[in-house]
Amino acid sequence: MRPTPPESVGVTPPSASSSELPLWKTWEGNDRFYCAGRCMTGPSPRNLLGTFLIVSVPSAIFNALVVPDVASATSVAVLAVGIAWPLWCLLNLIATGTADPGIVKRRPAPAPTLDGRVRPRYKLEQMPNGKTVTVKWNDTINAYQPIRAHHCSANDDCVDKFDHHCPWVGTTIGRRNYRTFLFFVFGTTILCVYVIAICSYQIKLKYDARPDTKRRAMQAVSDAPAALIIAILAFLGFWFVAVLSGFHIYLIITNQTTYENFRDGYSWRENPHNKGFVGNCWEVFCAPVPASRFNFREPPSRQPPDRDVLVEEAKEQEKKAKRRAERAEREAKKEASDERRQKAEEEAEEAGKRGADVEMGDRRAQPAVDRSGGGAGGVMRALAGGAHSLEEIKVEVEESGYEGDRDRTPKARDEGA
C-alpha cells in the first residue's frame, strides 16, 4: 500500500478563495452588477430606470396618438423619425448608465518611504505636449491619479477624465461614457424640438378641420389633448436639456470637463489640454474609446495588465534616460572645460617661459653704454649674446652706442681722453 504523503494528512480541499472568485463578486466600489457581471450600473440604478421611463413613456404616447395623424397628412417619414429618434436616445442612455466610465485600478498599499518622510500629496506631471499639471495622491487606489482623473465619492471609484456624477443616469460620467452621454443629451434636445413641432402640427390639423367659430381654437385643442400635454412636457424638458447641451458644447470646444470648469476655470490659452477647435472636437467625437481596465467576469489573477502602471514605468524609464543623458552631457562639458583650463595653463606657462627668455635677452642686449671701452665692450657683449659672424658683431657694436672710435685717429682719441 502506498504511504500517504505527510503534507496531505489532515488537509481538507480548500474552498474557493476570494482570489478565485470573479471580480464583480469582490468589487470594492459602490457599483452594481447584473447578469453574472455582464452588466454594471452605478450605485443608483433606479435613477437610470426613472430617466428611461421619462423618455420612453411620452415617446410611446406621442407615436401612438400624435404621429399617425401627422404622418397620414404629410409623409411616413414623420412616423419613422418619431420611432427611431427616441430609440436612439434610449440606447445612448442605456449605454451611458451601464458602461465602465473609466475606473482606475486599485493597488496594494505602498511600502513606507526609505527615509521615513510622508509622501507628498501633490506632484507635478508633464504632459506629452510639454505642459505641466498637478496630480493628486489618491488613498483609494494607493497611487497618484492619472492626469484629469478624480475620485467619485458616489461610486467610490477613481475615474479617468472625470466629468461629473450624473443623478439622471445614476453613475459617473468619465472618459469611456462621455460620448454616449453627449449623444443622449443632444438627442433629447432635438427630440423635444421635434415633439413640440409635430404636436403643434396636429393641433393645427384639428384647427383646420373645425368650422370657423369663436371656440375653434379651444375645440381644436380638445380634439388633441395628448398633443397638448406632450408638447407642454417637451417644452419644459427642452429648457433643461438645451441649457445642458449648450454648456457641454462650450466644454467640448475648450476641452474641459465639468469638474475642471468649476474647479479651475481655464481660459483658452491657459488650458493645458487645449488642442484647438478641431483637435478638441476630434478628441470627444472621433478618438478611439479606450478599453476597460477590468474583465469583471474573471478573477483578479486574470485581469488585464494595469496600463497605468505601464505608463508610469515608461515615464520613469524616460526620466532615467533623460537624467543619464543630462549627466553624460554635464560630464562631457566638465571634461571639455578641464581640457580648456589645462590648455590655458600650459599656454600661460609657455608664455611665461618665453617672456622670461625675452626679458633675459633684453637685459643682455641693452647694458649701460661704456664710452671708455666701447669697442671692446661691444665686441664682448656681441659674443656673449650669441653673435658668431663678423657682421653680427658689427651690428651689436653699433647698437651698443659706440660711434666715434672707428673714425678717429689714435692721436685724436688720446687727446679726447
Q: How would you classify residue 35: left for phi > 0, otherwise alpha for psi between -120 and 50, otherwise beta?
A: left
What is the C-alpha separation between 59 and 52, in angstroms, rounded?
11
Q: Coil, strand or helix: which one is 134?
A: strand
Q: Containing H/E element for 157?
A: strand 157-159
What is the C-alpha separation between 126 and 243, in angstroms, rounded?
35
Q: How many other C-beta atoms lie within 10 A of the C-beta of residue 223?
A: 17
Q: Indicate if 89 belongs to the active site.
A: no
Question: What are φ and ψ of residue 332, in 5° steps?
Answer: -65, -40
Q: Containing H/E element for 361?
A: helix 307-365
Write down the catalytic residue from 89, 166, 192, 199. Answer: 166
Question: Which cell numbers in the block locate residue 254?
Answer: 475648450
**HSE (side-chain half, CA atoms, 13 Å) at 18:** 4
Question: Which cell numbers in the block locate residue 308?
Answer: 497605468
Q: Coil, strand or helix: which one is 173?
A: strand
- Amino acid in the structure at residue 118: V
Question: Which residues are the active-site residues?
Answer: 166
